[in-house]
Amino acid sequence: MGEPCAPNELLLEPPDENTLRIMIATDNHVGFLERDPVRGPDSFAALEEIFLRAKEYHVDFVLLGGDLFHDNKPSRKTMHSTISILRRHCLGDDPVSFQVISEPPPQGGTEGTMDGMNKVGNFAHVNYEDPNYAVGLPIFSIHGNHDDPSRDGNTEPLSAMDLLSVTNLVNYFGKASATDNVEVSPLLLRKGGTLMALYGLGNMRDERLNRMWQKKKIRFLRHRPTGRDEEQKDFFSLFALHQNRDTGRGQKNCVQESMIPEWMDLVVWGYVK
């Protein structure tokens, strides 16, 4: 018998047909101190390393938990460098081994709904299903408190994540169309016999979100697959959010763990202080 493989050596092998392998990263703060002559390149180098490792470990997709950007309106240098990194590592002809089996949102979305996928223009599908693009490494991302949507005049709220979404480089989800009554719907994924319900909640003001939760204005929709064969199977439910936790900030300035549905299997919590 040969020597046992180290854990990292095992991860270098592609996952089997039923294993969904995800790389999770959050609070990248790309563009932080970009003008600093010494630390300026650090955030860009860290972002590139994430995707280098993702490809090295043969992950199925990368999940970003908010605050990809440090500034709400990133500089042209930051946007240019970020898009260059995404194009370099995420476009390509590598096969994507999982499918989306949830129904697309209605045209234009529903008032108060957080669609499983953020719908931009007429796009109602994930980027790797677009026949005009070759995406080899899908990215799914919510927004954080640094890169949250804002208005320019009377326009609709947009964020830097919307720009990455409309360029078809990132699947941006968890964006609310209203802030008084929110239904969080999942993006349903399937890889072989593995089923996942991916929920996302982009950052909102903590007091407002806490008040909505207390008044039961936040509702999580359960699984609605398009195929009948998935209806009776168990989905692994993953919830990505970007909010304060109750660590001495007061009960009204955070999201408490007790607010999250008990049936949620895994919570990816960005912006933890």
Nearest to residue 104, comparing CAs of 81, 73, 126? Answer: 126
Computed from CA positions of residues 222, 226, 231, 236, in that sequence, does the dihedral angle turn out positive or negative?
negative
Helices (H), the chain: 7-11, 42-56, 76-90, 160-166, 206-214
Greatest distance between any 2 Cα atoms in the chain: 69
Q: Would residue 146 show up in a list of annotated catalytic residues for this protein?
A: yes
Q: Annotated catalytic residue: which of 70, 89, 146, 242?
A: 146
Q: Are 48 and 85 in contact (CB under 8 A)?
A: yes
88 by DSSP, 3-state: which? Answer: helix
What lies within 8 Å, CB to CB, of 98 at 6+ separation is 20, 60, 61, 189, 190, 191
DSSP-assigned states of every residue in 9-75: HHHTSPP-TT---EEEE----BTTTTT-TTTTTHHHHHHHHHHHHHHHTT-SEEEE-S-SBSSSS--
**Phi, psi (degrees; rounded to nearest 5) at 251:** -70, -20
Active-site positions read 146
